[in-house]
Amino acid sequence: MSKLGLSQDKINQARQEAKIVADHTQAFIDKHTTDSVERTIVRLLGVDGINEFDIPIPNLVVDFLKHHHDPSIGIAQMLAYYIKKHNTTLDDIVAKITKETLPPQTIEPLSKEEVKKQLFPYYEKQMKAIVAQRATRDKFKQMHKLDRPMLYVIVATGNIYEDVTQAKAAAKQGADVIAVIRTTGQSLLDYVPYGPTTEGFGGTYATQENFRIMRKALDEVSIQEQRYIHLVNYASGLCMPEIAAMGAIERLDMMLNDSLYGILFRDINMERTFIDQYFSRVISAYASITINTGEDNYLTTSDALQEAHTVLASQFINEQFALRAKMPPHLMGLGHAFEIDPTIEDGFLYEYAQALMAREIFPEAPLKYMPPTKHMTGDIFKGYAQNTLFNIITSTTNQSIHLLGMLTEAVHTPFMSDRYLAIENAKMINQTMKHFGDEITFKKDGKIQSRAQNVLHDAHKLIKDINKDGLFDSLSKGVFAGIKRTKDGGKGRLGVYQKDPSYANPIIDDMLDSLKEVN
């Protein structure tokens, strides 16, 4: 029974409407590919590195071949043809492309079976590496099973080695999840930087080497603390699936991966984003990486009291996109946030209703609950009080991924002492209020029940409207966060291609074949 008196019929109807929205969009996704999808295929074939001008080799390969050939047939078709035609290896073809010594030829498309035959020895290595990392994670997580929300903190120095120092300190203080914030603007780069980096603004570059460095450091702490420390980064922006592949290979545990965030908040073309998120989620499902969606960001631009239904509507849609990538619910870290103005009467009750509603509607999802940010000020004492209220709701509504609020949220990048205080606050609340949520019920048709029921009703209505107009047109009307985007606008639009009938991507086919159907 729902403590909030939510109608299961209404939930089912909203879910069905979201399914139709996702199905219509998926029909478009299935017919198209992007530069970043094609570069991801190259990376999963084992191609990496940079040339003498620091240009990533996956970019060189895709740019060279799409310049000389029709990109609609896909990079797998092109590489397989050259390997077979020249009776050589992938390494040889890539080296010749890099040195600009490969003479372009007219490609006669191979059968999809032949494409797989030519490329399987290369991508099999990467898939086996991902499966091995999945097994290593499972082994680590047997050390200690948490019976409370995972405490999630961020590091954002710009220097991966300084990030390691701060991450280790936070983990030893009690953090379960370390998120390495990405440097400002990286989501708009149409390539992935290479190697370790020590200079970033507002965060650290997401590179495969940086992932490897941080993973090694957190494994060391995990062994010392006998508690697995999860690593997070961002599979978003113009290189969304590439970063998902890198994270899968280096055993990241969570990836910020939303189907709408890049469109709304980074003005990335919506066609490009929807195509990219699909491949990135298939990779994450295959690697057992938990995704974190970005609905919390809606409430940093819109009023949290008036626009809460947009968060729920987006959660329903994100869920359906993830299901189409064969991602099970236990990997869907759907996002929401504690962002109601703290001066509003009974705001705590409305926040409680919103959080418990998400938990009741998505019972298997590892919900990611975000702390107050919009209404934080330089008053650190008020901020600490706001975070305490947030921690109470997190604990008593059984949220899964608890991103800790900092008392200096509105002042500067947190000091290690700020993280320590945040962790201690959360640990105290989790202990002293451990079973409080189990003990309480709510007044029938009272403020909490009414709030949740109204939000569900409005979310259902919004999804029906989106279904009627289509997701592309709905986004152009600004249905989420009041931000309007056009189907043909945004960054990355020129990197979208309709697939030729001969198009092949054996990697995604094999990943999907290995994943179970989910509903």
Q: So which residues are the catalytic ones?
A: 261, 296, 368
Distance CA 87, CA 84 (A): 5
* Tokens describing residue 396: 């008593």
Which one-letter DSSP state was computed for residue 32?
A: E
* Residue 275 contacts residue 321 (beta carbons within 8 Å): no
Q: Is 101 exposed, middle or buried (0-12, 13-18, 19+ CB in 10 A)?
A: exposed
Instruction: Return the C-alpha torsion angle 184, 190, 193, 198, nearest 10.
Output: -10
* Residue 441 contacts residue 407 (beta carbons within 8 Å): no
Which residues, at least 6 apart from 117, have a Cβ–Cβ distance to it below 8 Å? none
* Residue 125 contacts residue 46 (beta carbons within 8 Å): yes
Tokens 């999907």, residue located = 512
Query: Which of 73, 32, 72, 119 is closest to 510 using CA atoms?
Result: 119
Q: In what order do the strands lie in the sheet with 150-155?
A: 332-333, 290-292, 254-256, 230-234, 177-180, 150-155, 401-403, 368-370, 335-337
* Tokens describing residue 31: 């017919």
Which one-letter DSSP state was computed for residue 182?
A: B
Torsions phi, psi for 32 (to 5 deg): -135, 160
* Residue 320 contacts residue 275 (beta carbons within 8 Å): no
Torsions phi, psi for 389 (to 5 deg): -60, -40
